[in-house]
Amino acid sequence: MTPPVPPEVAARAAELREQIEHANHLYYALDAPTLSDQEWDRLFHELKRLEEEHPQLRTPDSPTQRVGAEPASKLEKTEHLAPMLSLDNAFSPEELRAWEQRNARMAAEVVTAGYDVEPKIDGLAIALTYEEGVLVKGATRGNGTIGEDVTRNLRTIREIPLRLRAGGPPAPARMEVRGEVYMPLSGFAEMNARRSAEGLSTFANPRNAAAGAVRQLDPGVTATRPLRFFAYAVQLDPRSTERLPVTTQTELLAALRDWGLPVNPLAGHRDDIGGVLEYVEKFESTRGTLDYEVDGVVVKVEPFRLHEELGVVGGREPRWATAYKYAPDLAETTLNSIEINVGRTGALNPYAVLEPVEIGGVVVKLATLHNEEDIQRKDIRVGDRVIVKRAGEVIPQVVGPVVAEGQARAEPFVMPDRCPACGTPVEKPEGEAMVFCPNSACPARIYWGVVHFASRSAMDIRGLGEERIRVFLERGLLHDVADIYALTEEHLLALEGFKEKSARNLLDGIAASKERGLSHVLFGLGVRHVGEHAAELLARHYGSIDGILDASVDELVAVHGIGRSTAEALHAWAAIEGNRAVVRKLRDAGVVLTAARGEPASGIFTGHTFVITGTLPTLTRGEATEFVESRGGRVTGSVTRKTSFLVVGEDAGSKLAKAQELGVPQLTEEQLQALPDQLAADQAAAAERAAAGEAEPEKPKRAKKPKKAEPVPSE
């Protein structure tokens, strides 16, 4: 008879279950983790231990009995061929050897059967279904059994083949290829820099950024994110009689490579556990040099027949594989103060000034603190001992405080209610975590504003860097970005460090920037939410700055690709007289404030000509035109043999008859909206065929004609 469970143990188990479930939901469903991986592991292992000691506690709804949380988003759900498993961990060589010993008791052969070792990528697990070599579905892991259908998003990842190559052993007729989608550190850093320049929120780490990108509702957004993929497993349909054409994990990785799937080049075979441990040790120093985050090494028993023999624990973790986890790059130090940097958009960014500490070979003095809520949630206070984490190229982060019981602490941090740079009362827009200085004349905002205006992607003023800008501001030569164009040789020569030649060079750089054009000026003005892309769309749509500044919010929103928050921010910006004065000064200085209107962008529709006829169900004529032109297509008024597509609405007239006569394909509005995906898929498939060495089929004159009156299948 099993002894009764003491009530305090039962209560603890219930508490753990709830904490883990909650954390799972935030992590899996909302991409907003609250616990570090180590904290989660600790809770999970505690619960597992309690359930081992008291099996009555093992309720069917315990997080130990399943993988992750219910998917909770508007993406469609889809069931995996078999559950996507997770891995148990080993944190030391002893634990890894103990894992082998446990396995050896079930199957003595493991000791000599060899192991496959693979970097454990910190991304998100996905499953790609291939049928007869064709990618038909891509799904997130979800709760392990049911994931989300993200096929269209995954198709945007270039290295995921839409069709398998013919090399190697014959691929199964139907299989799920499993692997990890991740964001390289370099791409992550670039994307965050761009987002912060555009006044958008930044991602906490590459894993979150990758997960967010994969779970987008709009594949167009996913496509702009630098995602990558590594394949590491294949699941066949357990109901079919199909067999894998290989018998070990290393052979499988080779086959995956032959089939055109990306496989981590650092994966390899080791003869025994000693060899595995050598790999693990050597890899620890290599991993810091990689362009992606690796949190350990996955060790897998080679022969598949032993996988069957060893089996899976609790439907969740296979015995034949384990993850050797490295200690993360953490260090403890003292938080000396919390300082605030006021950015160009007025956002107050808190950061930690630390007692310098070495983490993974680098001395860290500063760390990001994100925002006030984050600081309060983690309860980080000045004077605390804090844990600081450094991961790859990512800015160091304060994980949380280490507080002893009864320890005296400073008061909780509160954001100042006035801007530390200019003293203006700050504002907190509803629903935003950031606090803003609303004063556009704030010296900190002006400094970063000028830095941004002069930067490469804005006006690209050669020779106007941060240091010189600081000096000009201090000397009272600059009060706003337009003053740049009032700088003269006398001004410059009066300053230390300028000679005739350097002054000339800078003035030449400034003069050249006048010709950059409207989209660069608009982006350079640094209006919140108006990034490079939005600036380009607006410039093309309106052709002049006056049209943009005089537009209503509704008119701005009607421009395809411009969202409401952008429109509102722009409208509010234009309502401020000081901002308009800057624009006038720019004009008087001879800065070009116009753009070739409707100048075609380049994109997926480049080379295609569209004619629109009749009334479309949701888009106005202008919006449909914008949709086409912003993707590089042309819209013309009459149907000819050269017309690629006729977009047909209600009450279409003679153009429809003409198109039928000439055999021009017709699209409904819905089909038009699905066309970018379809073309992208066609192009990718063509590229795949080319890469597979197949003869490029003769370039079709137009994209495949979609079936009439049926939405274009987006898959």
CB of 415 to ligand IVH, least distance (A): 37
Say how far apart CA 317 and CA 84 lie, in whole Å. 9
Distance from the Cα of residue 591 to its chain's centroid: 36
Does residue 667 touch ligand IVH according to CB under 6 A? no
Residue 504 tokens, joined = 């000339």
Least distance from ligand IVH to the Cβ atom of residue 321, Å = 5
Residue 651 CA to chain centroid, in angstroms?
43
Taking a C-beta distance cutoff of 8 angstroms, is the pair 509, 462 a contact?
yes
Residue 121 is a binding residue for ligand IVH (CB under 6 A): yes
* Position 85 contacts ligand IVH (CB under 6 A): yes
Give the shortest CB-179-to-ligand IVH separation in angstroms: 8
Question: How far apart, in whole angstroms, are the C-alpha atoms of residue 194 and residue 123?
Answer: 21
Distances in Å between the Cα of 604 and the Cα atoms of 49, 240, 601, 667, 697 are 55, 40, 10, 16, 19
Non-local (6+) Cβ contacts of 469 within 8 A are: 447, 450, 451, 454, 478
Binding mask of the shown chain, residues 231 to 250, with x at each position contacting ligand IVH by CB under 6 A: -xx-----------------
What Cα–Cα distance (Å) separates residue 589 from each residue in 577, 584, 597, 676? 18, 9, 22, 41
Among candidate residues 48, 74, 77, 120, the one labeled active-site is 120
Cβ atoms of 239 and 168 closer than 8 Å: no
Nearer to ligand IVH, 85 or 280 (CB): 85
Residue sitting closest to ligand IVH (CB): 125
Q: How far is the CB of 302 from ligand IVH (least distance, A)?
A: 14
**Which of 125, 255, 338, 551 is in the footprint of ligand IVH by CB under 6 A?**
125
Asked if 227 interacts with ligand IVH (CB under 6 A), we say no
Decide: helix, strand or coil at residue 458: coil
Neighbours of 124 (CB within 10 A): 22
Query: Using CB under 6 A, which of the segments 44-52, 81-89, 209-217, 556-564 binds ligand IVH?
Result: 81-89
Give how many residues touch ligand IVH by CB under 6 A.
14
> Are the C-beta atoms of 221 and 414 separated by less than 8 Å?
no
User: How many Å apart are CA 545 and CA 547, to the nearest integer?
Assistant: 5
Please, which of residues 312-331 interact with ligand IVH by CB under 6 A? 318, 321, 323
180 touching ligand IVH, by CB under 6 A: yes
Q: What are 9's two structure tokens?
A: 């143990």
Burial class (CB in 10 A: 0-12, 13-18, 19+), 658: middle
Q: How far is the CB of 237 from ligand IVH (least distance, A)?
A: 17
Site string for ligand IVH, 606-645 (x = CB under 6 A): ----------------------------------------
Main-chain phi, psi angles of 509, to 5 degrees? -60, -45
**Smallest separation, CB 67 to ligand IVH (Å):** 8
Task: Report if residue 298 touches ligand IVH, rule: CB under 6 A.
Answer: yes
The least distance separating ligand IVH from the CB of residue 288, rounded to whole angstroms, comes to 17
Identify whether 120 is a catalytic site residue: yes
User: 16, 75, 87, 386: which one contacts ligand IVH (CB under 6 A)?
Assistant: 87
Residues near 447 by beta carbon (within 8 Å), at least 6 away in sequence: 469, 470, 473
In the complex with ligand IVH, which residue's Cβ is closer, 291 or 670? 291
Measured CA to CA, the distance from residue 389 to residue 205 in angstroms comes to 11
Is the CB of 84 or the CB of 191 nearer to ligand IVH?
Answer: 84
Q: Does 163 bind ligand IVH (CB under 6 A)?
A: no
Q: Smaller CB distance to ligand IVH: residue 317 or 669?
A: 317
Residue with Cβ nearer ligand IVH (126 or 534):
126
- What are the residues binding ligand IVH (CB under 6 A)? 85-87, 118, 120-121, 125, 180, 232-233, 298, 318, 321, 323
Q: Catalytic residue positions?
A: 120
